[in-house]
């Protein structure tokens, strides 16, 4: 699993455990879990997504009587989401407490842990141990003041979070998926390496099969084998020389034993008054004539060859005479796909 994904899931598990500890009344454990996230810098890195965690952390501090810490957490939440209602309600209540207009009435003494401390009842809306406040006047027992209800509402999860067990299952499933994906990528890399190795061997076999050619050079390149003739094979236009006929016929005979596709590239040089780029019909005619001798020399079908015209600027030589020629680009033929 990638480190960013593991970090996110670890943080979700920590928050879920902190909420569970708070619901069980173990505020010290909840505070330690949330402080650990903050110390690791994950709340700052989360941006607006960290606001619910800051809100929960403020609730825990408030219940522990640490109002200054609670106010700082809500202030950080407002810095990320200025119109956050929970943070505004919490800071407003703390401000009233600071001015003496409200007083804290903790229902859980220092060091005590009450299992049902943060259970919220749907009927009364009260929360034991959350940060209950005395109202200005008397009210019936068990009925929370508006400020208490605002604090309780703000302290509740903004959505039903997944349980710790569910998050751990997700972590495990993600790890399994990441492992399977890594295995597949490794398999693809091995297949590509094997294919590259086969192609390299096939290209080497082509060079070996062509052997030494008098009047031509054989160049083994990354993707093909290129044959360049040392002299022009054509006297003029598409009229081939005797040397050209013999050389092409000999090469065709050597190609006959290979499972290859040969592209014959016709060349011309730019001449005054003619086209200076884009290829030409003369170059294509030269390729067509060359294919005839190659096919005859190896008794090969014409489908074993491809014909193209090179651009006038792509001649293998700088002079006109030697560019009255063709070049060959030979590649291994791909095996048929399995049915």
Give the tens place of pLDDT for each residue, 116-142.
223 222 222 233 233 432 332 333 444
Please state whether 315 falls in left (phi above 0), alpha (psi between -120 and 50) or beta.
Answer: beta
pLDDT for 177 equals: 82
**Each residue of 188-223: b (16+ CB within 10 Å) or e?**
eeeeeeeeeeebeebbeebeebbeeeeebebeeeee
pLDDT for 46 equals: 67
The token pair that represents 13 in the structure block: 């598990």
pLDDT for 10 equals: 63
pLDDT for 52 equals: 84
* Regions of the chain with pLDDT less than 70: 1-11, 40-46, 101-164, 272-274, 335-339
∠201-207-212 over CA atoms, to 5°? 155
* Residue 337 burial (CB count, 10 A): 5
Q: DSSP alpha helices (H): ranges in the chain?
A: 3-23, 27-39, 42-46, 51-63, 67-80, 85-98, 146-155, 164-210, 242-255, 281-298
How far is it, in rounded angstroms, from Cα 267 to Cα 316? 8
pLDDT for 102 equals: 54
């Amino acid at each position: 699993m990638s480190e960013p994904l593991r970090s996110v899931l670890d943080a979700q598990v920590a928050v879920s455990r902190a909420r569970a500890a708070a619901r069980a009344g173990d505020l010290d454990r909840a505070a330690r879990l949330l402080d650990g996230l903050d110390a690791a810098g994950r709340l700052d890195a989360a941006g607006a997504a960290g606001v619910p965690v800051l809100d929960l952390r403020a609730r825990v501090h408030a219940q522990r009587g640490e109002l200054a810490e609670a106010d700082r957490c809500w202030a950080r939440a407002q810095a990320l989401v200025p119109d956050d209602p929970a943070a505004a309600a919490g800071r407003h209540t703390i401000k009233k407490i600071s001015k003496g207009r409200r007083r804290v009435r903790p229902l859980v003494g220092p060091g005590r842990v009450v299992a049902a401390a943060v259970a919220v009842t749907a009927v009364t809306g009260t929360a034991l141990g959350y940060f209950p406040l005395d109202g200005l006047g008397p009210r019936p027992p068990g009925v929370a003041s508006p400020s208490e209800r605002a604090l309780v509402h703000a302290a509740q999860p903004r959505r039903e979070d997944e349980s710790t067990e569910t998050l751990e299952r997700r972590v495990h499933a993600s790890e399994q998926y990441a492992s399977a994906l890594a295995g597949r990528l490794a398999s693809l890399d091995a297949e590509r390496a094997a294919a590259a190795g086969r192609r390299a061997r096939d290209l080497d076999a082509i060079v070996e099969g062509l052997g030494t050619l008098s009047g031509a050079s054989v160049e083994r390149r990354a993707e093909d084998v290129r044959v360049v003739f040392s002299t022009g094979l054509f006297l003029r236009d598409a009229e081939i020389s005797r040397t050209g006929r013999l050389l092409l016929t000999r090469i065709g005979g050597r190609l006959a034993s290979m499972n290859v596709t040969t592209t014959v590239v016709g060349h011309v040089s730019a001449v005054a008054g003619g086209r200076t780029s884009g290829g030409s019909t003369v170059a294509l005619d030269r390729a067509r004539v060359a294919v005839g001798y190659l096919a005859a020399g190896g008794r090969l079908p014409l489908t074993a060859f491809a014909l193209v015209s090179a651009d006038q600027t792509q001649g293998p030589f700088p002079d006109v005479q030697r560019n009255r020629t063709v070049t060959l680009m030979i590649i291994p033929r791909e095996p048929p796909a399995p049915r």
